[in-house]
């Protein structure tokens, strides 16, 4: 199979508060709501994703931290209960997911060919991190699309920010090659918050939105500046000032997902669609989409065949992956 392509990328942050606020059956703690603007932003993103009909979702998460290389989930079926070590009161989520192992292996191989240390994670008892799970739930709560999970190598923290992000750029390019080689229609998910200055104590009622606001005005202004540039499609300018943004706003994009996603998409000077922005314990979170199909940079999904529905075909594919 060949001629795969990336059809969209989403900035898809992972505060577990959003799952908590939504009250899905998979999550034990129950809330009175909260963080609606961000959850509604994800509703819009879900709708768009549904129209895109991807074969696979690739997610790069800052909460799977690896010191030696870039790791890829490599077990076909993973399940368990994910308890967030920071917010166990909000996120205790029972998950089941299917991994597109063939694509993960291709990503790993292409990364290695480009000189990165890359490893497959084959241990079936592995605990998938809450960042991966939160992002995937928020963008596709049906869990009916196979995924590729990618770790955040700690190079931007261990080396300089620039050296680390250079690695993520290489990883993104390798990811694109793998997608093209395996024929997948792929959506990329950068699981990153923007400004990451946050409160140090949680309100007694976490979803009490009268207590929610940006932790830092300077951080908020940085977020608005970055979002505005992204909305205008000024990608090169965003990446020019990215190290300064990271330093001054303690931005979580330092961990690499944002750079990985844009490198994979070829840094298109394409206006991003802002689905919504909101703060979570003071951090800045934007849900944004770069739809390469709408922009004419990727092909639309083939019309559904006369027989089984697309959803049915997807289910059949997921079944075959098991």
Partner 1 sequence: MTAVSAFLVPGSPLHLLRPDNPPWRPIIAGFERAARALAVSRPDAILLYSTQWIAVLDALWQARPRLTGAHVDENWHDLGDMPFDIRVDTDLAHACVKAVKAAGISSKSVDYDQFPIDSGTIVATRLLDPDGRFPLVMAANNLYHDAATTMKMAGVAAATARAQNKKVAVVGVGGLSGTVFREPIAIEQDRIAAESDDNWNRRVLRLLEKGETGQLDGRIEEYAREARVDMGFKHFAWIRGAIGGRFFGARVHGYGPAHGAGAAVIEFRL
Residues in touch with partner 1 (CB under 8 A): 64-69, 71, 80-81, 83, 85-88, 92, 117, 119, 121-123, 125-127, 129, 151, 155, 158, 198-202, 281
Least separation, in Å, of the C-beta of 61 and partner 1? 11
Smallest separation (angstroms) from partner 1 to the CB of 306: 45
Q: Which is nearer to partner 1, 1 or 204 (CB)?
A: 204
Residues 6+ apart with CB under 8 A from 314: 53, 144, 145
- Where do the DSSP E strands lie in 43-146? 56-66, 70-73, 77-83, 92-98, 118-121
Measured from the CB atom, the residue of 137 and 196 that comes closer to partner 1 is 196
In the complex, least distance from residue 19 CB atom to partner 1, rounded to whole angstroms:
15
CB of 94 to partner 1, least distance (A): 10
Contact between residue 102 and residue 147 where contact means Cβ atoms under 8 Å apart: no
Q: What are phi and psi of 208, to 5 degrees?
A: -70, 100
**Smaller CB distance to partner 1: residue 74 or 276?**
74
How many angstroms separate the Cα of 44 from the Cα of each of 36, 39, 136?
12, 9, 15
Angstrom distance (rounded) from CA 129 to CA 118: 18
Closest to partner 1 by CB, 91 vs 222, is 91
| Cβ proximity to partner 1, 37 vs 119, nearer residue | 119
Q: Which is nearer to partner 1, 137 or 275 (by Cβ)? A: 137
Nearest distance in Å: CB 139, partner 1: 23
Report in angstroms how near the CB of residue 281 gets to partner 1 at its nearest.
8
Closest alpha carbon to 82 in 132, 12, 121, 31 = 132
Whole-number Cα distances in Å, 99 to 96, 144, 258, 305: 10, 11, 21, 25
């Amino acid at each position: 199979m060949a001629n795969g392509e990336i059809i969209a990328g989403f900035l898809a942050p992972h505060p577990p508060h959003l799952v908590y606020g939504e009250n899905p059956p998979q999550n034990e703690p129950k809330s009175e709501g909260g963080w609606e603007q961000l959850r509604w932003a994800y509703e819009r993103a879900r709708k768009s994703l549904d129209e895109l009909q991807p074969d696979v979702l690739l997610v790069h998460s800052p909460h799977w931290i690896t010191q030696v290389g870039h790791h890829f989930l490599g077990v076909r079926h993973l399940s368990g209960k994910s308890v967030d070590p920071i917010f166990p009161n909000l996120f205790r989520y029972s998950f089941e997911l299917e991994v597109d192992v063939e694509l993960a292996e291709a990503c790993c191989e292409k990364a290695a060919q480009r000189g990165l240390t890359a490893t497959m994670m084959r241990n079936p008892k592995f605990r998938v991190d809450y960042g991966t799970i939160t992002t995937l739930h928020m963008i596709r709560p049906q869990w009916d699309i196979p995924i590729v999970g990618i770790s955040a190598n700690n190079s931007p923290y261990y080396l300089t920010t620039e050296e680390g992000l250079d690695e993520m750029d290489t990883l993104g390019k390798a990811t694109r090659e793998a997608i093209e080689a395996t024929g997948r229609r792929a959506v990329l998910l950068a699981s990153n918050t923007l400004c990451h200055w946050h409160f140090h104590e949680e309100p007694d009622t976490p979803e009490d939105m009268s207590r929610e606001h940006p932790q830092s005005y300077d951080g908020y202004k940085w977020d608005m500046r970055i979002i505005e540039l992204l909305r205008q499609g000024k990608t090169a300018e965003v990446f020019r000032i990215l190290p300064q943004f990271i330093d001054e706003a303690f931005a979580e994009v330092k961990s690499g997902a944002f750079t990985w996603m844009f490198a994979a998409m070829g840094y298109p000077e394409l206006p991003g669609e802002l689905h919504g922005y909101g703060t979570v314990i003071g951090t800045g979170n934007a849900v944004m989409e770069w739809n390469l199909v709408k922009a004419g940079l990727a092909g639309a999904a083939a019309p559904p065949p006369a027989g089984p529905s697309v959803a049915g075909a997807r289910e059949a594919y997921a079944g075959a992956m098991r």
